[in-house]
Structure 1
Amino acid sequence: MNLKPTASNLSGLLDEHPEKPPQGINVDSKLRAGLNLYSRERTYRLYVPEGYDGSKPSALLVVLHGCHQTYEDIQQISGFDALADREQFLVLYPYVTSYLGYRARQCWGWWVKAHRTRGRGEVEDISRIVEQVQQEYSVDPSRRYICGLSSGGAMAVNCLVAYPDKFAGGASVAGLAYGETPSAVKGSAFSIPRYHSLPRLCAVMRKNLAGATPPNLLIIHSDGDQVVSEKATDNLEQSWKQVAELDTDASEWHIDGETSGTPWSLHGYTSHDQQRLVRLRTSEFPHSWLGGPEGQHSSPDAPCISELIWWHLNASATRELGEVTPRKDTLLQEAS
Structure 2
Amino acid sequence: MDDKIKAAMAEATRLTQAGRFAEATALIQGVLGAGAAEHWGATASASAQDAIEGDFELVDDSSARGTDGAVPQSFDAIPSEPGVRPGVSRGTFTDALGRRDYRLYRPRRLAERPALLVMLHGCGQDPEAFAQLTRMDDLAEDLGFVVLYPAQSAAANASGCWSWYSAENQDRGAGEPGILAAMTRHLRDAHRLDPRHVYVAGFSAGAAMAVTLAVTYPDLFAAVCAHSGLPYGVAGDLITALSLMAQGPTGGGVELPDLRPPPIIVFHGDGDPTVSPANAEALIQQFLPGLAAKEGVAVGRLDAVRRKGQTDNGLNYLQIQYKISGGDPLAELWLAQGAGHGWLGGRVSSPFAEPRGPDASREMLRFFWSVPCLAGASDER
Deviation at 1:8, TM superposition (A): 7.0
Q: Report % sequence identity.
A: 26
Partner of 2:130: 74
Q: Distance in 1 between matches of 2:104 and 2:355?
A: 24
Structure 1 residues 43 and 174: alpha-carbon distance in aligned structure 2, compared to 1, 3 A threshold? same
Q: Tell me the amino acid that sits aligned with residue 141 of structure 2.
A: D
Q: Secondary structure at the match of 1:13?
A: coil
Say if 2:264 and 2:331, in contact at 8 Å, map to a contact too.
yes
Compute the displacement of 1:87 (Å).
1.0
Q: Find out whether 1:262 has 2:301 as its counterpart.
A: no
**1:112-123 pair list within 5 angstroms:** 112-123=166-177
Larger Rg: 2
Change (3 A) 1:270 1:194: closer
Q: Which runs of 5+ in 1 are unaligned?
A: 1-6, 322-336
Secondary structure of the structure 2 residue equivalent to 1:280:
strand
1: distance between equivalents of 2:370 and 2:131? 22
SS at match of 1:41: strand
2:229 is the counterpart of 1:229: no
- Deviation, 1:14, is 5.4
d(CA) in 2 for partners of 1:104, 1:224: 27
Correspondence for 1:160: 214
Deviates more, 1:251-260 or 1:239-248: 239-248
Q: C-alpha separation between the residues in 2 aligned to 1:233 and 1:99? A: 30
Counterpart contact for 1:149–1:174, Cα < 8 Å: yes
Match of 2:184 among 130, 135, 150: 130
The aligned residue for residue 239 of structure 1 is 286
Deviation at 1:44, TM superposition (A): 0.6
Following superposition, the deviation at residue 216 of structure 1 comes to 0.2
Q: Which residue of 2 aligns with 1:84?
A: 140
Q: SS in structure 2 opposite 1:52?
A: strand
Aligned partners of 2:282, 2:192: CA distance in 1, in Å? Answer: 37
Distance 2:249 2:158 in 1: 19
Is 2:116 the counterpart of 1:60? yes
- Deviation per CA, 1:161-207: give whole Å up to 9, x if none: 000000010100000000122456557xxx96363433x600xx34x
- Report the TM-score, using the length of structure 2 for normalisation: 0.70
| Correspondence for 1:30 | 92
Q: Structure 1 residue 244: deviation in Å?
A: 3.0
Question: SS at 1:68's partner residue?
Answer: coil
Q: Could you say which structure has the higher strand fraction?
A: 1
2: CA distance, partners of 1:192 / 1:231: 9
- Alignment of 1:13 onto 2:64: yes
How many Å separate the matches in 2 of 1:253 and 1:183?
Answer: 36
Aligned-partner Cα distance in 2 for 1:279–1:124: 28
- Check whether the contact 1:185–1:229 (CA below 8 A) recurs between aligned residues: no
Note if 1:40 corresponds to 2:102. Answer: no
Provide closer, same or farther for how the CA distance between residues 194 and 289 of structure 1 changes in structure 2, counting only shifts above 3 A: closer
Match of 1:327 in 2: none
Letter in 1 for 2:151: Y
Q: Does 1:175 align with 2:229?
A: yes
CA distance in 2, matches of 1:283, 1:186: 23
Please give the per-residue CA displacement for 1:44-93, whole angstroms capped at 9, x wherever unaligned: 1110012237xx43111110000011111111101111111111111110
CA drift of 1:97 comes to 1.8
TM-score by length of 1: 0.79
Deviations 1:226-282 (A, max 9, x none): 011122222112111234346245222111111112111110111372311100011
Residue identity opposite 1:244 in structure 2: L
Letter of the 1:135 partner, please give it. Answer: D
SS at match of 1:197: helix
Judged with a 3 Å threshold, the aligned counterparts in structure 2 of structure 1 residues 274 and 134 are, in CA distance, closer, same or farther, namely same
Aligned AA (1:201): V
Aligned equivalent of 1:310: 365
Q: Which amino acid in structure 2 is aligned with residue 215 of structure 1? A: P
Aligned residue for 2:341, secondary structure, equals: coil
Q: Distance in 2 between matches of 1:93 and 1:179?
A: 23
Note if 1:295 corresponds to 2:353: no
Query: Equivalents in 2 of 1:248, 1:197: separation in Å?
Result: 18
- CA-atom RMSD, angstroms? 2.9
Amino acid at match of 1:301: R
For residues 184 and 249 of structure 1, the distance between their equivalents in structure 2, rounded to whole angstroms, comes to: 34
**Contact residue 116 and residue 158 of structure 1 kept, 8 A:** yes
Residue 45 of structure 1: SS of its match in structure 2?
strand
**Are 2:195 and 1:141 equivalent residues in the alignment?**
yes
* Structure 1 contact 185–227 (Cα < 8 Å) conserved: no
For structure 1, which segment, 77-86 or 238-247, has the greater mean C-alpha deviation from structure 2 after superposition? 238-247
* Cα displacement (A) at 1:306: 0.3
Is the CA contact (8 Å cut-off) linking 1:47 and 1:91 kept in structure 2? yes
Amino acid at match of 2:266: I
Q: 1:248 to 1:228 in 2, by over 3 A?
A: same
Task: Summarize deviations over 1:282-304 as a string: whole Å, max 9, x none.
Answer: 12222111112121212223221
- Higher helix share goes to which structure? 2
Q: Provide the rounded CA distance (Å) in 2 between the counterparts of 1:123 and 1:192.
A: 24
Structure 1 residues 40 and 99, CA gap change in structure 2 (3 angstroms)? farther
